[in-house]
Amino acid sequence: MSVRSMMIAVLILLTGACGWQLRGSVALSSLTDTLHLTSPDDYGALMVELRNRLSADDIRLTDSPTEARYTLRVNRELVDKRVAAVGSDALASAYELTLRAEFDVLDQRGMPIATRLASSVTRSYNASSGSAGSSAQEEVLLTREMRTELAQQILRQLQAAINAAQAEGLVSDAPDAPDETPNGETTP
């Protein structure tokens, strides 16, 4: 094995050993194997994106909060569009889109672990005054991409909230372990 190959192998091992991950990758499956996901719009685009991301991480979604270790409650999703620039013809030449979600993380008993969490993604795009259809298409594609990033942010915050709750002893570390009540009894 050449010195260069050994150096590359050592660098790969070191980056893996320090916990480095690609941006966007969330390791929720090491913290829980079940999750209850709820929102006022359970079939909205953000909820679909969250379900897809959780399924890809082998997280089983439950219909009941008592069957899941944690609940992610998305309280609302906001979409804001504003004019970011005006051209010499006094028409909008660029827009700024913002997607924002507000959510809470609850334990199996419905007790809050983290509340009033928020994530947002903002992007701008140039508007084509010659073709309204292409600007609308660009907005749709950009919104889809932003929603994917928003879902990743939410899951990273969920992971951080669970890690913090486990570090503080609010919930147990084991993914399937039952929670203890204050009087020492266990709940399923």
CA quadruple 131, 134, 140, 143: dihedral sign: negative
Confidence of residue 186 (pLDDT cuts 50, 70, 90): very low
pLDDT value of residue 180: 44
Instruction: Name the E strands within the chain.
Output: 34-38, 60-62, 70-86, 92-107, 112-126
pLDDT value of residue 153: 96
The answer to whether residue 185 scores a pLDDT higher than 70 is no
The answer to whether residue 124 scores a pLDDT higher than 90 is yes
> What pTM did the predictor assign?
0.76
Top-confidence residue, 40 or 186: 40
pLDDT value of residue 127: 83
The answer to whether residue 121 scores a pLDDT higher than 60 is yes
Instruction: Tell me 180's DSSP state.
Output: B
Q: Looking at the chain, how many residues does it have?
A: 188
Q: What is the mean pLDDT of the chain?
A: 84
Beta bridge partners of 124: 96
Percent of the chain with pLDDT over 70: 79
Q: What is the pLDDT of residues 33-61, one digit of tens each?
A: 999 999 999 999 999 999 999 999 899 99
Top-confidence residue, 24 or 34: 34
| Mean per-residue pLDDT, 68-86 | 95
Structure tokens at 28: 């929720």
Q: What is the pLDDT of residues 162-176, one digit of tens each?
A: 999 988 887 766 554
